[in-house]
Chains A and B, each alone.
Chain A
Amino acid sequence: MRIQKHKNKILKKIMVTTVILLPIAFGGVYLGVYFGIMIPELTSFMEVPPNTDDFEPLVNINISRLEEIGAEFELLQDEHLPLNISQTITRDANTGEVILFHGTDNGVLHTIENLVASCFRYATLPEGSEKQISLALIRKMTDAMRLFIEVPNGGLGPKFSGTKVARFYAPPDRWNDGNYTWIFDEYYRHFNGTDGTLIDDSGTDYSQWRMRLYTSKDELAGYFGALAALLTLVPEPDIQEITRLIILQLMEGMLSSYWLGMGDADAPGKPDGVHFQVPSGIVWKLLLTKMATIVDPDNVRYKQLHHYYLAKERKVNNAMAVGGTDSIDNYYSHYFNSFVLLGLFLVEDDQGVLNAFFKNFHEKTYTNYRGHRNAMLNALYLAGAAKSTRTTHFDLESITWDVLDQLWRFSERGLIPFDTTIGGENETITRTSKGSEWTAIDPNIAKWKNFVDNTWFGGLYKWLVGPEGLQDAVLEDRFLKPATVDMMRPKETIWNQNPYRETGEHVYNTTVTIRQYAGASFTLPYYILRYFGYVEVI
């Protein structure tokens, strides 16, 4: 029996309320200390614009040379596309012959980085032979875009509606090619393609092809971004037709699966966790529906859905947001998500919406990256600024200078081609060689490590930021100055790593082999600036 004294009713209510509120208040304090004090202290210096004293004076940066470098990388790109997928290559150091095409888990991403750069370049080139060469390169990579979706789904277009996009593919004749035996090996991400003739007469039998699935949102972010670039920057009928069919194929696939990726590693036709619904951000939905309204302008349902996601799902105010912790942890994946935003900047035609996207990016994401000297994210910001009519308190000239300084280091250091010879030096520039201010580590890290290791309350964060924690990178050492291009090891893209952790200590032996990467690290930011008018070539 429940017995309550009347006179104690209020006191009891207060006590019950307190007991209920205590854990909530504790949770608030716990999260408040993390997100309100610890993370801002650990990241605020990254929000400070870089010191332009470290930059090469603008008068010394030869834009014509940058343009030449862009063209050189474009020519080199052709070597990386044996299957039209951008692959890293290894050369014989003596003969220069390519002896290995490297496999990759991120075939889509590395292809689209180069493809998007090529699209921007194509859009800036005057009519002529160079433009035709550029178009041929784009056609190759567009063919890869087609096969990425066609091999897993058996055909192209909405009849083969699907959400599966392969990370990599290989035709059956590569079975005995040593460069591709890896994808013919049994592995949980490796499958045979789909026999599309069983779905529709217009399908293709890809059952003897191999593909790598279990495709992540990073890959799809890039894939969507590349579709936007093809759609808006390359007005060639054949390319537009392939792009249109891919967009409609994805659109119908996503609608039929309620925006779940269906590439499970264990069983076909089951969700793989790639999930464009809450709690994930749904900015992808905005881009895909917008592109669908462009390629199928008579479809009122697509238009209504785009409006629905924009206004009623309220994503106009939330595309996209990358917080302080993400600028430390998960740097890799959040960098790739930026391709979705780049796509939105390209395809959106409503000035109000563009302004909202730019405002969100400015306030919720870019501020956290302002000091990183990340040329790709800086270029993305400049792209947004060019499309927006909003004023920004960031100095666009200094951001442009930041990008140009980073790109100029490719020239100064001789990083063309972008390979392990590092311009003949075989090693990158180390922080120690640049002086003590380059090796200074953020003192707040030690302070917060001490808090976590030596206080009972701090110990409650070990599951989060401890050595095996969910966000273990938060308390790992970071330098106070971001690394520059000449400190970074060559790779497919150098902009997906935290520059505050780069030591610059990379030494390569290139007497036998040389590993060469495609030039998207240079071409992507450069041609974004070029397209949006921040760089003019005389």
Chain B
Amino acid sequence: MENRITYRKRGVSEHYTQILSIPWSYLITGLTFLIIGILDFKFLGNHIGHPGESGFGERIGQGTAVFLGGLSFAWTTGLAPLIVGGIMIAYCIYATKFVTLTPTANSYIIQEQRILFPLITEIDRSKIRTTKYTNRGLKLRHLWILLFIPMGIRILQYGFPLFNEHLAEDNILPIMLVLTGFVDILGTVLTLIVPTHTLSFQTDLKLYEVNFLPVYRKGDINRTFELTRNEASVKDGRRRDSIFRLIAGIGLIIVSSIGLSVEYLWGTDLSMVGISYGIYLVLHVVQNDSKLYFQNSITTLPESTEYRQFRKISFIDVAGLGLLMYLSTLEFIWGWTYISSNWLTILDMILATLIWLGVLIWIFLYLTVPLQDLKNINAILKRNTSIPWKFGLRIGGMVVMMIFAIIIAF
């Protein structure tokens, strides 16, 4: 019985665990996005087109964005949170559910009672090889970073300078821009930082996963499934890796913030990549090391003896590292090529060069040195008699991005 739709309760016993799951972080973010989107349109207007000519919407004197006769700022700042907020609220309504986990003598019965599509699945206990309960991992949610962090920062960049513009009669526009920028960023962080819980069962043939965000629970999942805490997170190598990521993440956020706020050190594009990727790295560390996050499991599979040589890199890693490599190299080359002789620019380039070298070294270590070997860079060479293909691929990727930047530069 897998994902059968039923409103009836089945197989309830006295040992069941029940969880009320409400994706409240999505709900709060969605509501905030929706409200800020509506406020943007209310206070900044919804016009498109030149004033005095036929266009769309009503002009209320809060400025025009993008081009002369263009859009009110609400379209550029409020539309995305409005749409995404609406989708998030709809998702919350769909995803709010009671999850009932019932062990019977031969199986586990998992019921998800939601308004639409209440599902029930029964899994044969004898076939389960691994049961895992975790709230770690950003999963696909990290894609929110790509959308709302650059957008929020860009909006803040426009908003702050407009305060107290000497000819303006009010500060409605900058207030709305700054509010929207902060809501975009904080909403994204909230969505990412509040963990979704995943209970998974792995059999020889299938992987079963149920996601929830508990706001109330009756019973203990760990006891129900006899799970033990996986302590990998506090092992030495993992800890060092977290510090390694944390330093890089905070460093990227600081340098990028300088670039974005005072136009120094890093250009806008590089800073946008840097701050987005920096936030991702920090969140990654928080998810792995904070006591709020855990991974409990039980398995009948033999413990893997495979030695994980390299970090698993995600799509964001590939995009972030590639762009960091390419843009910072290009800025380094052009920065020195077109240097002007004044102390502020020279200091800028010296600092930017040091940061560029730091970024290169960090990317090299991040891609090529195994978690356990951070203490000793040479360990990888000792451990491997030949260069593994993954190592070659990653170094090759770095080199390609650098060569690409050099070709573009010249």
Residues of A within 8 A of B (CB): 1-7, 161-162, 164, 187-189, 194, 199, 214, 216-217, 256-258, 260, 262, 264-275, 277-280, 293, 300-301, 303-308, 310-314, 316-317, 350, 352-353
- A264 pairs with B112, CB closer than 8 A: no
Within 8 A of A (CB), among B156-191: 157-158, 161-162, 165-169, 173
Residue in A275, A305, A310 whose CB lies within 8 Å of B66? A275
Residue in B63, B267, B408 whose CB lies within 8 Å of A271? B63
Pull 12 A–B residue pairs with CB atoms less than 8 Å apart, ordered by A: A1-B112, A6-B206, A265-B52, A268-B167, A271-B162, A277-B158, A303-B340, A303-B342, A304-B348, A307-B339, A311-B267, A313-B268
Chain A residues, CB < 8 A from B269: 313-314
- B345 pairs with A268, CB closer than 8 A: no
Chain B residues, CB < 8 A from A310: 334, 338
- B338 pairs with A260, CB closer than 8 A: no
- B208 pairs with A3, CB closer than 8 A: yes
The answer, yes or no, to whether B142 is at the interface (CB within 8 Å) is no
* Residue ID in chain A nearest B119 by CB atoms: A1
- B169 pairs with A267, CB closer than 8 A: yes
Residue in A5, A187, A317 whose CB lies within 8 Å of B52? A187
Chain B residues, CB < 8 A from A189: 52
* Residue ID in chain A nearest B70 by CB atoms: A273
Q: State the CA gap A2–B2 with chains docked (Å).
A: 10
Chain B residues, CB < 8 A from A314: 267, 269, 330-331, 334
Chain B residues, CB < 8 A from A300: 342-345
Residues of B within 8 A of A (CB): 2-3, 50-52, 59-70, 73, 110, 112, 119, 121, 157-158, 161-162, 165-169, 173, 204-211, 259, 263-264, 266-270, 330-331, 334-335, 337-340, 342-345, 348, 352, 408
State how many angstroms separate the Cβ of A200 from the closest Cβ of chain B. 11
- A1 pairs with B208, CB closer than 8 A: yes
- B267 pairs with A307, CB closer than 8 A: no
- B345 pairs with A304, CB closer than 8 A: yes
Chain B residues, CB < 8 A from A293: 340
Chain B residues, CB < 8 A from A267: 61-63, 168-169
- B267 pairs with A308, CB closer than 8 A: yes
Residue in B50, B65, B210, B330 whose CB lies within 8 Å of A2? B210
Q: State the CA gap A470–B398 with chains docked (Å).
A: 41
* Residue ID in chain A nearest B259 by CB atoms: A312
* Residue ID in chain B nearest A256 by CB atoms: B161
- A264 pairs with B63, CB closer than 8 A: yes
Chain B residues, CB < 8 A from A350: 338
* Residue ID in chain A nearest B63 by CB atoms: A270
- Residue of A187, A293, A301 most packed against chain B (CB within 10 A): A301
- B205 pairs with A6, CB closer than 8 A: yes
Chain A residues, CB < 8 A from B408: 317
- A312 pairs with B64, CB closer than 8 A: no
Q: State the CA gap A314–B157 with chains docked (Å).
A: 19
- A353 pairs with B207, CB closer than 8 A: no
Known: A268-B168, A280-B67. A352 touches B210 (CB 8 A): no
Residue in A256, A271, A305, A307 whose CB lies within 8 Å of B335? A307
- A188 pairs with B342, CB closer than 8 A: no
- B64 pairs with A279, CB closer than 8 A: no
- A268 pairs with B161, CB closer than 8 A: no
Chain B residues, CB < 8 A from A306: 340
- A217 pairs with B68, CB closer than 8 A: yes
Q: State the CA gap A274–B337 with chains docked (Å).
A: 31
- B173 pairs with A270, CB closer than 8 A: yes
Q: State the CA gap A312–B340 with chains docked (Å).
A: 13
Q: State the CA gap A497–B336 with chains docked (Å).
A: 41
- B207 pairs with A1, CB closer than 8 A: no
- B330 pairs with A269, CB closer than 8 A: no
State how many angstroms separate the Cβ of B108 from the closest Cβ of chain A. 11
- A2 pairs with B61, CB closer than 8 A: no
Q: State the CA gap A280–B66 with chains docked (Å).
A: 8
- B68 pairs with A216, CB closer than 8 A: yes
State how many angstroms separate the Cβ of B349 from the closest Cβ of chain A. 8
- B211 pairs with A308, CB closer than 8 A: no
Q: State the CA gap A352–B69 with chains docked (Å).
A: 38
Known: A2-B210, A5-B205, A307-B345. A266 touches B59 (CB 8 A): yes
- B66 pairs with A307, CB closer than 8 A: no
State how many angstroms separate the Cβ of A186 from the closest Cβ of chain B. 10
* Residue ID in chain A nearest B266 by CB atoms: A312
Q: State the CA gap A434–B211 with chains docked (Å).
A: 77
Q: State the CA gap A194–B396 with chains docked (Å).
A: 61
- B61 pairs with A270, CB closer than 8 A: yes
Q: State the CA gap A310–B264 with chains docked (Å).
A: 13
Chain A residues, CB < 8 A from B68: 214, 216-217, 272-274
Chain B residues, CB < 8 A from A307: 335, 338-340, 345, 348
Known: A265-B51, A271-B64. A304 touches B264 (CB 8 A): yes
Q: State the CA gap A271–B65 with chains docked (Å).
A: 7
Chain B residues, CB < 8 A from A194: 167
- A3 pairs with B267, CB closer than 8 A: no
- A266 pairs with B345, CB closer than 8 A: no
Q: State the CA gap A188–B344 with chains docked (Å).
A: 44
Chain A residues, CB < 8 A from B60: 266
- A269 pairs with B166, CB closer than 8 A: yes
Q: State the CA gap A274–B167 with chains docked (Å).
A: 17
Residue in A4, A214, A257, A313 whose CB lies within 8 Å of B267? A313
* Residue ID in chain A nearest B263 by CB atoms: A308
Chain B residues, CB < 8 A from A311: 267, 331, 334-335, 337-338
- B166 pairs with A264, CB closer than 8 A: no
Residue in A266, A269, A273, A313 whose CB lies within 8 Å of B65? A273
Q: State the CA gap A270–B72 with chains docked (Å).
A: 11
Return the 9 tightest CB-CB contacts between A and B, nearest first.
A269-B168, A269-B167, A312-B267, A267-B61, A270-B63, A266-B61, A188-B52, A273-B64, A311-B334
Chain B residues, CB < 8 A from A305: 263
- Residue of A162, A188, A262, A304 most packed against chain B (CB within 10 A): A304
Known: A267-B168, A300-B343, A317-B408. A312 touches B331 (CB 8 A): yes
Residue in A161, A265, A269 whose CB lies within 8 Å of B169? A269
- A279 pairs with B66, CB closer than 8 A: yes
- B210 pairs with A312, CB closer than 8 A: no
* Residue ID in chain A nearest B69 by CB atoms: A273
Chain A residues, CB < 8 A from B352: 312
Q: State the CA gap A507–B132 with chains docked (Å).
A: 86
Residue in A5, A216, A352 whose CB lies within 8 Å of B337? A352
- B207 pairs with A4, CB closer than 8 A: yes
Chain B residues, CB < 8 A from A301: 344
Chain A residues, CB < 8 A from B3: 1, 3
- B162 pairs with A4, CB closer than 8 A: no
- A199 pairs with B166, CB closer than 8 A: yes
Further pairs besides A258-B157, A312-B267: 15, Cβ < 8 Å: A1-B3, A1-B112, A1-B121, A4-B207, A6-B207, A266-B59, A269-B169, A271-B64, A274-B67, A300-B343, A304-B344, A312-B331, A314-B334, A317-B334, A353-B338
Q: State the CA gap A7–B158 with chains docked (Å).
A: 51
* Residue ID in chain B nearest A282 by CB atoms: B268
Q: State the CA gap A124–B204 with chains docked (Å).
A: 88
- A264 pairs with B61, CB closer than 8 A: yes
Q: State the CA gap A311–B339 with chains docked (Å).
A: 8
- Residue of B50, B69, B345 most packed against chain A (CB within 10 A): B345
